[in-house]
Amino acid sequence: MSSIVVIDYGSQYTRLITRRLRELQVFSIIEAPDVSLDTLRAHGARGVILSGGPRSVYAPGAPGLPAGLLDSGLPILAICYGMHLLARALGGEVAASDAREYGKAVLTSYGGELFDGVEGEFVAWMSHGDSVITPPPGFVVTASTADTQVAAMEDASAARFALQFHPEVRHTPKGLWVLERFVAATGVDRAWTSEHIIDHAVASVREQVGEERVLLGISGGVDSSTLGLLLHRAIGPRLVAVFVDHGLLRLGEAEEVERALRSLGVDLSVVDASERFLEALAGVTDPEEKRKAIGNAFIEVFYAEAARVQDERGDIRFLAQGTLYPDVIESAGGHGAANIKSHHNVGGLPADLRFELIEPFRTLFKDEVREVAEALGMPKHLRDRHPFPGPGLAIRCLGEVTHERLEVLRRVDDIFISSLREFGHYDDAWQALAVLTPLRSVGVMGDGRTYANTVALRAVTSVDGMTADWARLPHEFLATVSNRIVNAVSEVNRVVYDITSKPPGTIEWE
């Protein structure tokens, strides 16, 4: 199968480019900037996309173009940093912008091959400090914004295209059309589907595992549950599934998880380790340290459970994790990516890990996992649940995590989520959550003075979690929820609603 190869310059959206290409049923592979032409040919490359990145092309040690790429004849689409790199290599001028652009921008004009067929307003998602000042010889400017004269340029005769904005993010609504125009220019095969992903993952697991057993920790979320179904298809009864109740789940969720997974036929062992995790989190307030403490405690519990199971069934060699690519790149797992936060499955594992890891979803996004779940037969009410972080409520309980603070957060979260379902707004949000802040403030309840906690509510719209916008929930609904919370949870006297997008914020507060 032919492909489009994405060159990763460290953008947090690099894998998102491949995700959009997969939506167009194009097989896509990511490679480092030093990839050879022989490797590109081995991948069946019919085109190359140069990603964005956090650096300036003028910075010392800034990565350059793959050797020989400009002489290969391959169509090129260059995005942000990639645009600057291409422009500079071909004789254009790149410099720091007088007016940097971050977030939403509107193209004041657009045209050319990539925009052919586009009509109406074109909203683009920008994230840049440098800009192309003068295009290279042979290139024409095909789009501009109020602040950026060269928002897009192309040399159609050489099949070379460049964009200052990010067409891969959902906040560039017509960006997929632009990517599809580039796909059409390459002539690449379009046959990549969720069934292909499943077939590839099953074959890969079987090749790696052989006749060995696999231990899987199930949290009850979409990722680990889908992974359980995939591994069951791949290795059947050699899958050992363990649900570790770390005491950081939402109200009633542990019981719901157990019922749901058993109903899907998963052979499940349940371990109540809530006290062990609270001990590990005692006195810990830094979010990074929380994640590491939870990751270490999780592995310790797995060691103990694995030892018990091995006494009964024989040795277990592999540990499966439902790590997704957003977890990886936010933990600086890409080529030169900026570190946003560590993930409990990424970089938080002990050096003496006694299992070999299996991570079949490491290159997938949340929405792609949902598609896989549907193809594997997972019921809709489980498949479409909001994402929930592996470290659970610990990262939504800002400051120290205690049993008492967790109980307050659980009750607030339950009121918020239940109200979203009751008023028909649950599906309006990609993710919704409550945060218990370390702030306390003065309030009035009845005729008395209170000094109680402040909680924050957050709901976002997204598809993959890489970018997100705050959900415009009705004011009347928010007022109702706020009233319910302060009336039902005496430890809370103030409720705020987060209206920050990602970027610049993240979805979780931590």
- Beta-bridge partners for 435: 456
Residue tagged 């001028």 (tokens): 93
Residues 55, 32 contacting (CB under 8 angstroms): no
Residue tagged 């990886």 (tokens): 328
Residues 196, 3 contacting (CB under 8 angstroms): no
Residues 181 and 193: their CA atoms lie apart, in Å, by: 20
Residues 500, 470 contacting (CB under 8 angstroms): yes
Beta strands in 290-353 (DSSP E): 318-320
Residues 166, 79 contacting (CB under 8 angstroms): yes
Residues 409 and 507: their CA atoms lie apart, in Å, by: 17
Query: What's the order of all strands across the beta sheet hosting 93-110?
Result: 28-31, 3-7, 45-50, 76-79, 160-163, 152-155, 140-145, 93-110, 123-134
What are residue 476's phi and psi, to 5 degrees? -65, -40
Catalytic residue positions, numbered: 80, 166, 168
Residues 6+ apart with CB under 8 A from 67: 34, 36, 37
Residues 425, 472 contacting (CB under 8 angstroms): no
Closest CA to 166 of 80, 239, 104: 80
Longest dimension (CA), the chain: 79
What's the chain's length in residues? 510
Q: What is the C-alpha end-to-end distance of the chain, expressed in Å?
A: 42
